[in-house]
Amino acid sequence: MTIGERERTTASHILERCMANGLSAEVAVARLALHLQPGVKPAELADIALGMRSHAPRRRGWLDEVAMLLSQKEISFDDLRTTAASVRHDRLGDETHEMIVSRLASSFDRAAAISPAASVQLSSLGDEEKLSAATAEIASWLEQQGFLGRDKTILDIGCGIGRFESALHQRVKRIVGIDISARMLDIARRRCAGLGNVEFRRTSGLDLGEFVAGGFDGVLAVDCFPYLVLAGVADRHFSEIARLLRPGGLAAILNYSYRMSPVVDSSDVRHLAHACAMDVVVDGELPFRRWDGTAFLVRRSGGT
């Protein structure tokens, strides 16, 4: 199909917002794949990016990079779309918590079968090197926040394909990754084979009751809380995180929801933290360039 005026306007607005927020070209391509109708060709989107250079001369290089990414044959725009479409971010009828979690588990299985890298971060564009670079950026931020340490035990909620276990295992004492997707966990175990301080478990996705109180120095939740919010179990997980953390322990929640309302997300996190006797250390910042995730860092009271 030839791109219509509506899609052209949407594409232009997406690119303008990404430029204004200083986001990477990869994030822009991922957002185009996520929000545009099927059938729009990447070559048409590349032409839109190139056509915007005269109106944004200072971002000419960035627009050229977007166009280049859209033109690269090793990146399948259709695979990005299909991966994104595998997981629905809304409720279907009268679904229960259990039904939503079960549906999401099957969805993540399908997404991982299409593209393991894109299934955990669409802006990787399905490229393992790009995913590793984005993971390293997040890992660096975690280290700066004092989240990591060779004496620390970490729980990674929604570990996906084990990218953080692979990236962080040398900087922590032990890391336990949990997920609801059997396929993702299979990939994670292969990725981290032989790492003695890494453990993976399949979880119910409904709570964290299998873990003892005070068993962790840190809880990592990268892009999983949006699904907990969708399933209606975010509050339960937040209180469970408080139970699992040792005094002074940190919870890094990177993306709380997909509601596109930073004010509401911040309000919810502050409310939950207060209810659980926790302190908000980082409140809805956007510290990453390679990924557009919003960062919250919460500390359990009682430590330094």
Asked, for residue 100, whether it belongs to a domain, the answer is no
Beta strands in the chain (DSSP E): 149-157, 172-179, 198-202, 216-222, 245-254, 278-285, 295-300
Q: By three-state DSSP, how is residue 149 classified?
A: strand
Asked, for residue 261, whether it belongs to a domain, the answer is yes
Q: In what order do the strands lie in the sheet with 295-300?
A: 198-202, 172-179, 149-157, 216-222, 245-254, 295-300, 278-285
pLDDT at 75: 63
Same domain, 151 and 227: yes
Same domain, 45 and 133: no
Same domain, 257 and 159: yes
Same domain, 69 and 132: no
Same domain, 146 and 223: yes
Same domain, 279 and 204: yes
pLDDT at 231: 95
Same domain, 214 and 296: yes
The residues pairing with 300 across neighbouring beta strands, listed in sequence order, are 278
pLDDT at 74: 57
**Model confidence over 34-84: pLDDT tens digits?**
998 888 889 999 999 999 998 888 899 999 999 999 988 656 888 999 999
Other C-beta atoms lying within 10 Å of the C-beta of residue 59:
20
Same domain, 192 and 62: no
The residues pairing with 283 across neighbouring beta strands, listed in sequence order, are 296
Q: By three-state DSSP, how is residue 284 classified?
A: strand
**Which residue, of 44, 73, 102, is where some domain finishes?**
73
User: What are the backbone dihedrals phi and psi of residue 205, each rounded to the nearest 5 degrees, phi first?
Assistant: 80, 0
Alpha-carbon gap, residue 153 to 96, rounded angstroms: 33
Alpha-carbon gap, residue 279 to 142, rounded angstroms: 17
Same domain, 159 and 290: yes
| pLDDT bucket at 302, cuts 50 / 70 / 90 | confident
Asked, for residue 80, whether it belongs to a domain, the answer is no
- In this structure, the strands spanning 245-254 and 295-300 are antiparallel
pLDDT at 304: 53
pLDDT at 57: 87
Asked, for residue 97, whether it belongs to a domain, the answer is no
Q: Domain range spanning residue 19?
A: 5-73
State how many domains the chain has. Answer: 2
**Hey, what are 272's tokens?**
């939950």
Asked, for residue 238, whether it belongs to a domain, the answer is yes
Same domain, 57 and 174: no
Same domain, 137 and 259: yes
CB 76 within 8 A of CB 126: yes
Asked, for residue 83, whether it belongs to a domain, the answer is no
- Max CA-CA distance within the chain? 60
**Which residue, of 58, 73, 88, is where some domain finishes?**
73
**Model confidence over 251-289: pLDDT tens digits?**
999 999 998 899 999 999 999 999 999 999 999 999 998
**Model confidence over 216-258: pLDDT tens digits?**
999 999 999 999 999 999 999 999 999 999 999 999 999 999 9
**Burial class for 164, CB neighbours closer than 10 Å (0-12, 13-18, 19+):** buried
Which of 127, 126, 137, 196 has the alpha carbon at shortest distance from 164?
A: 137
Asked, for residue 9, whether it belongs to a domain, the answer is yes
Query: Is the Cα torsion angle 33, 38, 44, 47 positive or negative in sign?
Result: negative
pLDDT at 238: 97
**Residue 151 maps to which CATH number?**
3.40.50.150
**Model confidence over 2-22: pLDDT tens digits?**
678 889 999 999 999 999 988
Q: Quote the distance between the C-alpha of residue 171 and its chain's center.
A: 21
**Which residue, of 73, 102, 119, is where some domain finishes?**
73
Asked, for residue 42, whether it belongs to a domain, the answer is yes
Average of per-residue pLDDT across 77-103: 91
Report pTM.
Answer: 0.93
Alpha-carbon gap, residue 295 to 283, rounded angstroms: 7
Same domain, 62 and 145: no
